[in-house]
Amino acid sequence: MEKLKAVLFDAYGTLFDVYSVGLLAEQLFPGHGNALGVLWRDKQIEYTRLVTTSSDGAHYQPFWDLTRAGLRYACRRLGLALPAAAEERLMNQYRHLSAFPENREVLQALKAKGVTTGILSNGDPEMLGIAVRSAGLEGLLDHVLSVDGIRKYKTHPDAYALGPAATRLEARQIAFVSSNSWDALAATWYGYRTLWVNRSALPFEELGTQPTRTGTSLRDVLAFF
């Protein structure tokens, strides 16, 4: 197989823990924090697919706006009143999600090997910039790629095409890492060599394709090298 020259990471769920907002949600809505975090994330992703596939993307909205819409829906679904102050606290928390502890170690190891590194994410540029700075990862990433410029979310092939365009490499020369099974699957279909980071011991998607590798942390990407 052709030698890998770059690694692109999904951001939300992979580098940054999207469910870390559940701690604040539990403070604001005792007994509902976990349910709110899960439903919020599910609706956020559902909205990305809806605005991408409807009317050729004519209804596109930035990821930040879809994140807010997902929060509002989740609260309504759970019967939770969402005061403006609570909404802003939760949205601000989403800007500063907890980073997984192995991030720096893995990125430093890849850079030491001369591997090009980057993020390829649904997040809009401002969101990603804040998250990367909050985690102290600025100097360890060669690319921070957002789908916002093309107005199409993953799993649209044009979203995955941002990687080869930015790195000037073929997809088969790039490893794509995601903890979201749907993302790892679509990236495999696109032509990347993929690592699915299965932190929760979940089954993979039942659509006849497997990721190149499956692991339990970001450290498993180093096995490609």
Give the residue numbers marked as catalytic.
Answer: 10
Total residues found in the chain within this entry = 225
Tell me, rounded to whole angstroms, the distance of Cα 205 from its chain centroid. Answer: 17
Q: Determine the Cα–Cα distance for residues 38 and 21; give it in Å rounded to an integer.
A: 10
Closest CA to 34 of 45, 47, 44, 20: 20
CA distances from 179 to 12, 36, 94 (A): 9, 20, 18
Euclidean distance between CA atoms 28 and 122, whole angstroms: 27
